[in-house]
Amino acid sequence: MDDIRTGRAPTDETVIITGGTSGIGRATAVALAGSGARIILAVRNEEKGRAVVSALPGVPGTHRVRRLDLARLDTVEAFADGIDEPIAILVNNAGVESKDLERTAEGHELQFGTNHLGHFLLATLLLPHVTDRVVTVASQAERMARLDLTDLDWYRRTYNAGRAYADSKLANLLFTSELDRRLLASGSRVRALAAHPGLVKTAIYERPAGQRPNLWDRLVPVLGQEPEDGALPSLMAASADLPGGTFVGPRRMMHMRGGAEVIGRSKQAQDPEIAARLWSISEELTAVDARS
């Protein structure tokens, strides 16, 4: 793996990573633990999480596992309630991709509810503890989004799984920009950044037996990079001296693989009005005021 990109890597500080039992999240945890960070893995499967933690660099007992299911907001609240220490970096890494319409425990469309709302609530509740930055794993799939703020959970529209995933990734970028705007306005030194991992060989592309693979499923084994390479944008966003609101992605193949650099985003991902509206709606959908 390339060195963590230029900047200050967290040493003897706590980093929370969601979804770190495999793929990009696990690679991110290994790299940051290797730099001296204390890792808290926030995962659905604690047994898998303990197996990852036991293999992380560092003194045994340095790293921890905590249960978190982003599709159940009560577990997000319980996780946040259990944090009473400074958190240098929160890495919102976990994500799901669904081919059929599924819903979270609260009735939200699964991809939007997990990829955006769960992380929105987690970051909002943990923000008083964060000392450096919030990194959210987004995707260039956001360019295919058609975010409908009047029907975010697909109750009225005909469901399109690919569009729903793209919407959730656009929501990740809008959340990042609005969070960073609010942090700046409050005079906070905390920054919010986003990362696009590119095309990576991860479990998100694995399909159940009998389910027909799509184009991306066929391309990943041929063109996809390893999780250690896919983690490089997250590592750069977590450690480099970059301004808040920055979007980091791979350097090559139209930002789909190879290294890490600052990349652009769509016009809709840069719209401050949409970002502010999504924030307000997300507060309502997660009842964040009542929980904080």
- Per annotation, catalytic residue among 155, 159, 165, 205: 165
Residue 165 is a catalytic residue:
yes
Both structure tokens of 185: 């306005």
Is 230:202 a contact under the CB 8 Å cutoff?
A: yes
Helix axis angle for 272-286 and 161-186, nearest 10°, is: 100
Q: Could you tell me whether strands 38-43 and 64-67 are parallel, antiparallel, or unpaired per DSSP bridges?
A: parallel
The catalytic site residues sit at 165
